Structure 1
Amino acid sequence: MTSSPPIADLPVASLPVDGAELAAFIAAKLCHDFISPAGAVMSGLDLLDDPSAQDMRDDALGLIRQSAAKMVALVHFARVAFGAATSSEQFSGAELHSLLTGLTDGGRATLDWRVGEEVFTKLQARALLNLAYLTVGALPMGGAATVAVRREGGQLILIGSAEGARARLKAEALTGLKGERLTEGLAGQWIQPYWLWLTACDAGGRLETTVEDGRVALIARLPLAD
């Protein structure tokens, strides 16, 4: 198991990515995520405009409808997971569950959301949403993802557990979850785990990662306000 120190304990020179560089990585990831459904919408529109493909009109409309829904789900997720561009100051567990399932429904992994009627601040919601997404993402071949929350000893503890035959985290993700700069590999696989680490550390908390055969666990410990 690895555990990240609070960001306040780290010398400024050791902080790997911040400011404009961090924004550039996040913007690149969002563009990567958005381009697939946006391109599918354009493909559907091209089919509608093609006189020789009118027999595929229903398929084209279905593609447009599905891809537009995916794009909307991505936007709603990104507003909470990567920023604060929302009028809400607090989020219920049900709201966060809806944001997550809008992206993960239809995948190979099942999600057991054990959050209940908790209410979260923006920072807590950001941490929980990213932790939950990465937990589900650790099961590319399917399995059971469990997300739970508890309050203990003045801390809000966010727990993600992924169990499956091929449960894993890519090397880039492990680098990000430790708060380290990426020196090789794909930045798109690194930035969201790094963002989760930074979110936890900005809250004065810690992020713990455990990778075992058939199991991945992510635990964020965030101090509760007095």
Structure 2
Amino acid sequence: MTTLTLDALDLSALLCSRVCHDVISPVGAIVNGLEVLEDDADESMREFALDLIRKSARQASARLQFARIAFGAAGSAGASIDLADAEKVSKGMFSDEKTQLAWKAPQALYPKNKVKLLLNLVVIATSAIPRGGLIDVTVSGDGEAPTLLLKAKGSHARIPPHVRELMAGTPESGTVDAHGVLAFYAGLVARAAAMDVHFTIEGDEVTILSEPTAKAAEPAADLAPASPEEVRPSDSEPSDTALA
């Protein structure tokens, strides 16, 4: 099956739409909290508003820091990203009362696209356990030929719908919307990094394994694809699940 591509402008628009969608919620909560502070003199309501502002500001910051590395041009001045930074933004984004994130990786600089792939796989692993649970991330091997192993364990675990097709660039619908663009983008990053990604499930545990491709891919200029055959983006907005 022919791998479909998105025009660079459409890809950037869908990614921006997705990131903005995920930041709107905490920013909106901050605005609501400030309105309460302005209009309500009740001390208990003011304390509630301040607590809401604090939590929402931390959430917005965590989402932006994660997006900056996972989807943006963070570290573009160099070719590597520190795995410690990847761990920090991942735990800031996903570790809460619902989902716990365990991280085992060397303290080292790894090629940028391989770190970006790792972060995008964390997003996919999170969506594999919709009711929360534990995500165990293990990185082994050197930066040029790493093994990325993610195990997501939780109630009602499942391989996210259509994730394989989207990552392969062969969506069944022939379109990519702002919800599916994250898996589609992860596939672009995997191919740019010359990495294969495999999914398996056993009971309530989903395993995502990424290793270097057996046959080395041609060097990729970046993630701006040529588009002899374009996918038309859907106008639909993503669901309310944050980056999942």
TM-score, L = length of structure 2: 0.76
| Match of residue 6 from structure 1 | none
* Counterpart contact for 2:105–2:139, Cα < 8 Å: yes
* Counterpart contact for 2:124–2:160, Cα < 8 Å: no
Structure 1 pair 113–51 and aligned structure 2 pair: CA distance change class (3 A):
closer
Matched, 1:45 2:34: yes
Where 2:106 maps in the other structure, the secondary structure is: coil
Amino acid at match of 1:77: F
Q: Distance in 2 between matches of 1:182 and 1:50?
A: 51
Q: Distance in 2 between matches of 1:53 and 1:184?
A: 54
Q: Distance in 2 between matches of 1:91 and 1:85?
A: 8
Aligned pairs for 1:118-133 within 5 A: 118-133=108-123
| Match of residue 32 from structure 1 | 21
CA RMSD, Structure 1 to Structure 2 (Å): 2.6
| Match of residue 74 from structure 1 | 63
Matched, 1:60 2:49: yes
| Match of residue 220 from structure 1 | 210
Structure 1 pair 97–41 and aligned structure 2 pair: CA distance change class (3 A):
same
Q: Distance in 1 between matches of 2:82 and 2:105?
A: 9
Q: Distance in 1 between matches of 2:22 and 2:176?
A: 14
* Counterpart contact for 2:75–2:112, Cα < 8 Å: no
Q: Deviations over 1:107-128 (max 9, x none)?
A: 4232221113232122121111
For structure 1, which segment, 177-186 or 127-136, has the greater mean C-alpha deviation from structure 2 after superposition?
177-186
| Match of residue 165 from structure 1 | 155
Structure 1 pair 85–118 and aligned structure 2 pair: CA distance change class (3 A):
closer
Q: Deviations over 1:135-172 (max 9, x none)?
A: 233222233211111228x6222111112231123324
For structure 1, which segment, 90-99 or 75-84, has the greater mean C-alpha deviation from structure 2 after superposition?
90-99
Q: Distance in 1 between matches of 2:50 and 2:62?
A: 18
**Aligned partner of 1:100 among 76, 90, 109:** 90
Structure 1 pair 172–114 and aligned structure 2 pair: CA distance change class (3 A):
same
Amino acid at match of 2:207: A
Structure 2 residues without counterparts, runs of 5 or longer: 217-244
* Counterpart contact for 1:111–1:136, Cα < 8 Å: no
Q: Distance in 2 between matches of 1:164 and 1:201?
A: 29
For structure 1, which segment, 195-204 or 81-90, has the greater mean C-alpha deviation from structure 2 after superposition?
81-90
Structure 1 residues without counterparts, runs of 5 or longer: 1-9
Where 1:116 maps in the other structure, the secondary structure is: coil
Deviation at 1:185, TM superposition (A): 9.8
Aligned residues: 212
* Counterpart contact for 1:109–1:140, Cα < 8 Å: no
Q: Distance in 2 between matches of 1:67 and 1:184?
A: 36
Question: Greater helix percent: which structure?
Answer: 1
Amino acid at match of 1:24: A
Deviation at 1:212, TM superposition (A): 3.9
TM-score, L = length of structure 1: 0.82
Structure 1 pair 215–79 and aligned structure 2 pair: CA distance change class (3 A):
same
Amino acid at match of 1:218: I
Structure 1 pair 207–131 and aligned structure 2 pair: CA distance change class (3 A):
same
Amino acid at match of 1:71: A
Runs of 4+ in 1 over 4 A off after TM superposition: none
